[in-house]
Amino acid sequence: MKRHNIVLAVWCAVLTLGIFSGCTEKELYGVMPEEGGIILVPEEARKVSVKSITEPSTVINDVWVIQLDGSGNVLTGESGECAPIYFYGAAGTPTGIRAFTEDNVQKYAIYVEIDPQATEVVFVANTGNSSLYSGVTTKADVEGKTKAISGEASLEGNAVMSGTWRGNAGGEGEISLKDVHMRRAFARINFRLKMAESLPEGEAFALTSVQLMNVPNVLHPYRDAAKLEPTDGTGGTPFFPAATGTYLNYPETPFDQNEVWADDENLQWMPSEGVKGELLTTAVKTFDPWYVPENGRGESGVTNQRLKDAEHAPEGQGDYATYVRVQGYYRTTELVNMVTYTIYLGEDNCNSYNIVRNTDYTVTVTIEGQDRFDTRISKEEEDYEQVNYIDYTDNSSPWFIVAALQGGQHNPDAVSAPEGWSIPKKEEMMLIWVYDAAPTNNFYWIDYVQNNSRWYGDMGLGEIKPSAEGEASATYYLLAIKSDLPVGFKYPYVQGGKGGSNIIVSRDANGGVAEDKLRPTGTPEPEDGYTNQDDFNRVPAKLQIAKRADKEENMVRKVWAEAKTYCAGLTEDGHDDWRLPTQRELMMIYAINGDLPEEYSIPTESFTGNSGSHPELSSHIYYWTGTEDSSIGGSAWSVCFCKDEDAGSFPGKVEGYGTTYENFVRCVRDYTE
């Protein structure tokens, strides 16, 4: 057995890819060929200084040498002379390292006893741990060793690297390792950000922060080069590192020092403190690189980059895939949203969730909009927030949006809204209450005057009614809405379209009204009752409405207790879980009543009625809810579906009514598929 001179050199592969927040897909390109010597590619000059991390050095200070036979067993030699050995220190000692330069490439030499049975020799540099590989017996043991990573600073200093020689060690003389490359055990992420040139006029993005998320908290100093890119976690290439423990989030880099869009007359209802960020342009903004341990989370099979998110990652890997979190304010001409983009990293734009060691990734993100159907735009409540308006849906599909700030107090003759906005009508104010979309619980004026009295909505109780006739001294707040939205499909809607069914949909598989504004479907009605302030007084995702009464004994008004009993005993469409609607449910029915089929809609004719018409039309048309009035004992909420205001009725009036009096009845139930 002879002592051999081993020559090590450092290799750095370069990989560039582009990721776009629109629909454009860019293929992987620019892989540097692994031939023609050992090359260390220098880092480009930094354009933005936001971090204190220094680039890991490729100097080799220490090296582990582990010899393996063809079965993957660690060799030790006859007397242990070939056991894993740790080299460190200057040349001239048995375990010293000699540094030299050849053809302008930095190289290192060590002298090792090579076992004739060796078919593979593993070299691991810069672990800084003289006992790391002591006692390993198999290649799997070598691959399983890790180094703890507590943050990006753990990668500072000398870069952990590894390389492998494969061949037949039985010959004499020097073993040349010029075909063996020492590769760094981590990757570099170069992040770039810019705005698209094709954005509509008036749209802009103010960056507030950038952060790298889900970074592994361990690093494998050595991994078999043939097992660096797992696909589905099988076939000999498992996901790595093991999906255990807590992954790291690198520190957030803020860009919120300067106020943007101050005193812009196109923006109404902005918070008094304004918004702060850095306005992006079509010029590329460059950030300092991140250094990250390799993270192999596999391939998804997805072909559309808009679907590259945690949900579409290989099964069980979404919570461990590394991504960049970009947050800021996205502005259209009149509206501002806090938006969070999540860009998952990998070997391509769509399919790969693998960050491979010793690879230099360049990720260029072009912001082309805030389409919430793009999965890379986070839909978590804390990640997407309206700044100067309230949208009661989570997919940008409301009938209208509500100003985030209320106007001042005004008398009924001084009610107006800024250009492009309007004062809510009765139906709109009802939906504001139904979906809890008011900025406060104040009294707000309604765009409706009856008999010299302006209507208003009490957003603390859900009461809708006219003020005292001719009372000019009342001063209520202004609330503005915007309904001219570029929205094709709006919530709520009648399933099947206008006249299509007796089901009102607030939320479906595509989203809709935010879940926190709804009552979970199937929630049982409280046995001891509930008021307008209780959680049950909400609407489910889908509400089914019973037909108009068709039996003579049911074509009459009932006291509240009888109305509840009637619905509880109703069997219709094979269901026996009917009940009185909640206050919010009946208000929603009023707002969308015209879209229901005739046999399911609630009549809105004058209480004077017509000869031969449905008996419901021949009396004062108030309908009961099952919701007790929290402000007046012994009363429950009712809604007037009357139409002819000249006859003394109040269409759309929502008020508490004594439970010993009589109102009409319509039953509902939570609809399930």
Task: Give the model's confidence band at 235: pLDDT under 50 very low, under 70 low, under 90 confident, else very high.
Answer: low
Average pLDDT for 143-162: 89
Task: Give the model's confidence band at 613: pLDDT under 50 very low, under 70 low, under 90 confident, else very high.
Answer: low
**Co-location of 650 and 633 in the same domain:** yes
CA angle 168, 172, 176 (to 5 degrees): 65
Average pLDDT for 290-307: 89
**Co-location of 547 and 666 in the same domain:** yes
Task: Give the model's confidence band at 575: pLDDT under 50 very low, under 70 low, under 90 confident, else very high.
Answer: very high
In a domain, 399, yes or no: no
Whether 41 shows a pLDDT value over 50: the answer reads no
- AA identity, residue 356: V
Task: Give the model's confidence band at 292: pLDDT under 50 very low, under 70 low, under 90 confident, else very high.
Answer: very high
The Cα–Cα gap between 384 and 393 comes to: 12
Task: Give the model's confidence band at 472: pLDDT under 50 very low, under 70 low, under 90 confident, else very high.
Answer: low
Cβ atoms 159, 184 nearer than 8 A: yes
Each residue's pLDDT tens digit, 159-172: 899 988 888 766 55
Cβ atoms 100, 222 nearer than 8 A: no
Structure-token pair, residue 143: 């691959």
Cβ atoms 540, 559 nearer than 8 A: no
Average pLDDT for 557-584: 94
**Co-location of 312 and 230 in the same domain:** yes
The Cα–Cα gap between 42 and 32 comes to: 14
DSSP 288: P
Residue 446, helix vs strand vs coil: strand
Residue at which a domain ends, from 187, 204, 225: 187
* Cα-trace Rg, the chain: 35
Per-residue confidence (pLDDT) for residue 489, from 0 to 100: 82
**Co-location of 414 and 537 in the same domain:** no
Average pLDDT for 458-471: 85
The Cα–Cα gap between 140 and 163 comes to: 16
In a domain, 395, yes or no: no
Per-residue confidence (pLDDT) for residue 324, from 0 to 100: 94
Per-residue confidence (pLDDT) for residue 78, from 0 to 100: 78
In a domain, 632, yes or no: yes
Name which residue leads in pLDDT, 243 or 142: 142
Per-residue confidence (pLDDT) for residue 246, from 0 to 100: 74
**Co-location of 54 and 201 in the same domain:** no
**Chain-wide mean pLDDT for the chain?**
82
- AA identity, residue 187: A
Each residue's pLDDT tens digit, 63-100: 999 999 999 999 998 778 889 999 998 877 778 888 88
Which residue has 């009508």 as its token pair? 425
Residue at which a domain ends, from 121, 153, 187: 187
Task: Give the model's confidence band at 521: pLDDT under 50 very low, under 70 low, under 90 confident, else very high.
Answer: very high
In a domain, 577, yes or no: yes
Structure-token pair, residue 195: 């705005």
Average pLDDT for 635-653: 83
- Rounded to the nearest 5°, which phi and psi values hold at 491? -115, 140
**Co-location of 497 and 544 in the same domain:** yes
**Co-location of 590 and 451 in the same domain:** no
Average pLDDT for 641-654: 78
The domain of 212 spans 191-390
3-class SS string, 241-285: CCCCCCCECCCCEECCCCEECCCCCCCCCCCCCCEECEECCCCCE
Whether 19 shows a pLDDT value over 50: the answer reads no
**Co-location of 419 and 517 in the same domain:** no
Residue at which a domain ends, from 452, 481, 510: 481
Per-residue confidence (pLDDT) for residue 39, from 0 to 100: 22
Structure-token pair, residue 297: 């989370």
Average pLDDT for 398-413: 91
User: Structurally, how many domains does the chain consist of?
Assistant: 4
Per-residue confidence (pLDDT) for residue 131, from 0 to 100: 95
Question: Long-range contact list for 389-392, CB < 8 A, 24+ apart?
Answer: 389/269, 389/335, 389/482, 390/437, 390/438, 390/439, 392/431, 392/435, 392/436, 392/437, 392/513, 392/514, 392/517
Task: Give the model's confidence band at 52: pLDDT under 50 very low, under 70 low, under 90 confident, else very high.
Answer: very low
In a domain, 398, yes or no: no
Task: Identify the CA nearest to 582 among candidates 522, 486, 667.
Answer: 667
Whether 445 shows a pLDDT value over 80: the answer reads yes
**Co-location of 515 and 428 in the same domain:** no
The Cα–Cα gap between 33 and 13 comes to: 8
Each residue's pLDDT tens digit, 538-551: 999 999 999 976 66
**Co-location of 469 and 519 in the same domain:** no
**Co-location of 507 and 454 in the same domain:** no
Task: Give the model's confidence band at 259: pLDDT under 50 very low, under 70 low, under 90 confident, else very high.
Answer: very high
Length of the chain: 673
| H-run or E-run covering 573 | none
Q: How many of the other CB atoms lie within 10 Å of CB of 202?
A: 11
Which residue has 């949208």 as its token pair? 391
Q: How much of the chain, in percent, has pLDDT values that exceed 70?
A: 82
Structure-token pair, residue 116: 């004739």
For the domain that residue 144 is a member of, what is the CATH number?
2.60.40.2580
In a domain, 534, yes or no: yes
Task: Give the model's confidence band at 642: pLDDT under 50 very low, under 70 low, under 90 confident, else very high.
Answer: confident
Task: Identify the CA nearest to 250 among candidates 206, 296, 287.
Answer: 287
613 CB-side CA count, 13 A: 13
Whether 206 shows a pLDDT value over 90: the answer reads yes
**Co-location of 242 and 165 in the same domain:** no
In a domain, 401, yes or no: no
In a domain, 154, yes or no: yes
The Cα–Cα gap between 64 and 147 comes to: 14
Q: How much of the chain, in percent, has pLDDT values that exceed 90?
A: 49
Residues 6+ apart with CB under 8 A from 67: 74, 75, 82, 84, 114, 115, 118, 120, 121, 122, 169
Q: How many helices (H) and strands (E) does the chain have?
A: 4, 44
Average pLDDT for 512-519: 95
Q: How many of the other CB atoms lie within 10 Å of CB of 85?
A: 19
Q: What is the largest distance, in Å, between two alpha-carbon atoms of the chain?
A: 116
CA angle 210, 213, 218 (to 5 degrees): 140
